[in-house]
Amino acid sequence: MTVVVGWTPDARGHAALVRAIAEAQVHDERLLVVNASSGTAPVDDRFAGVADVSQVRALLDSLGVDGEVRQTVVRDVGDALLDIAEEVDASMLVIGIRHRSPVGKLLMGSTAQRILLDARCPVLAVKA
């Protein structure tokens, strides 16, 4: 089976990636690192550059993790992660979330909330 992680080149993405690598290693599973963008902004700092992707690939190689990095521009990032998790029959979907205020915790980000509610596999939400 495959562990899928939604990865962005920031603290949330790093936290999710580190945990996803650990899960893939513990369960001896493949890792699919997904970097998705909605493409709605002229510059999207969540879409990884070539250097960031190369660093992730090098990290996976150095740790002996069977994995790949997939980049995609989609209409909706949440839907894309859910679709990819289904496509590969993911054993787990790992996402990064940021620390929030007490009110912010009540109003979790819509993408993270939708993934938690709609995923057909277990979801691990990792705080950065």
Reported pTM: 0.90
pLDDT at 126 over 70: yes
Q: Average model confidence (pLDDT) for the chain?
A: 90
Number of helices (H), then strands (E), belonging to the chain: the values are 5, 5
Yes or no: say if 2 and 89 are a contact pair by the CB < 8 Å rule. yes
pLDDT at 99 over 90: no
Give the confidence band of 111 by pLDDT, cuts at 50, 70, 90: confident
Buried/exposed code over 56-80 (b: 16+ C-beta within 10 A; e: otherwise):
beeebeeeebebebeeeebeebbeb
Report the alpha-carbon distance of residue 124 to residue 128 in Å, rounded. Answer: 13
Q: Which residues share a beta bridge with 69?
A: 33
For 37-84, the pLDDT digits (tens) are 887 655 677 788 899 999 999 999 999 999 999 999 998 999 999 999
The class level of CATH for 2-127 reads alpha beta
